[in-house]
């Protein structure tokens, strides 16, 4: 079992829909990151959080430390949101390196 599990693996939505991507992890962490990766492109950091909730534009990230669970929400989705969304954690025992989930491929159709 991976230390970081994401669901779903693939998600197709219609433009305007509310989207949720989930991340569960099994280790103690100092922080959790949500990242975005476009095809052929590098990785963009969306959020880093260790508690509560953060919002940036149409993106919202929440984390429940007790339940070891985080969600990424996208409101009013748009085709340009199509990308791979990756959850990554900084394990308490692994120093500064990140442990990544396998990513969620999101496709938003017009």
Partner 1 sequence: GAGVSQSPRYKVAKRGQDVALRCDPISGHVSLFWYQQALGQGPEFLTYFQNEAQLDKSGLPSDRFFAERPEGSVSTLKIQRTQQEDSAVYLCASSLYGSGYGYTFGSGTRLTVV
Q: Which residues bind partner 1 (CB under 8 A)?
A: 4, 30-31, 33, 35, 41-45, 48, 86, 88, 90, 95-103
Minimum gap (Å) between residue 110 Cβ and partner 1: 25
Please identify, using beta-carbon distances, which residue of 20 and 30 lies nearer to partner 1. Answer: 30
Report how far residue 43's alpha carbon sits from residue 19's, in angstroms, rounded to the nearest whole number.
20
User: What tokens does 13 get?
Assistant: 């939505």
Please identify, using beta-carbon distances, which residue of 63 and 103 lies nearer to partner 1. Answer: 103
What sign results for the dihedral spanned by CA atoms 39, 44, 50, 56? negative
Minimum gap (Å) between residue 57 Cβ and partner 1: 17
Report how far residue 103's alpha carbon sits from residue 6's, in angstroms, rounded to the nearest whole number.
6
Minimum gap (Å) between residue 81 Cβ and partner 1: 19
* 38-48 b/e (C-beta count within 10 Å ≥ 16 → b): eeeeeeeebbe
Please identify, using beta-carbon distances, which residue of 95 and 110 lies nearer to partner 1. Answer: 95
Report how far residue 108's alpha carbon sits from residue 12's, in angstroms, rounded to the nearest whole number.
6
Please identify, using beta-carbon distances, which residue of 1 and 97 lies nearer to partner 1. Answer: 97
């Amino acid at each position: 079992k991976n230390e970081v599990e994401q669901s779903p693996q693939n998600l197709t939505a219609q433009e305007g829909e509310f989207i949720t991507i989930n991340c569960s992890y099994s280790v103690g962490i100092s922080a959790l990151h949500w990242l975005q990766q476009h095809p052929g492109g590098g990785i963009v950091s969306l959020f880093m959080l260790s508690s509560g909730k953060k919002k940036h534009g149409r993106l919202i990230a929440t984390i429940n430390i007790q339940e070891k669970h985080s969600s990424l929400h996208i409101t009013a989705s748009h085709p340009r949101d199509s990308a791979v969304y990756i959850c990554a954690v900084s394990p308490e025992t692994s120093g500064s390196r990140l442990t990544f989930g396998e990513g969620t491929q999101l496709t938003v159709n017009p």
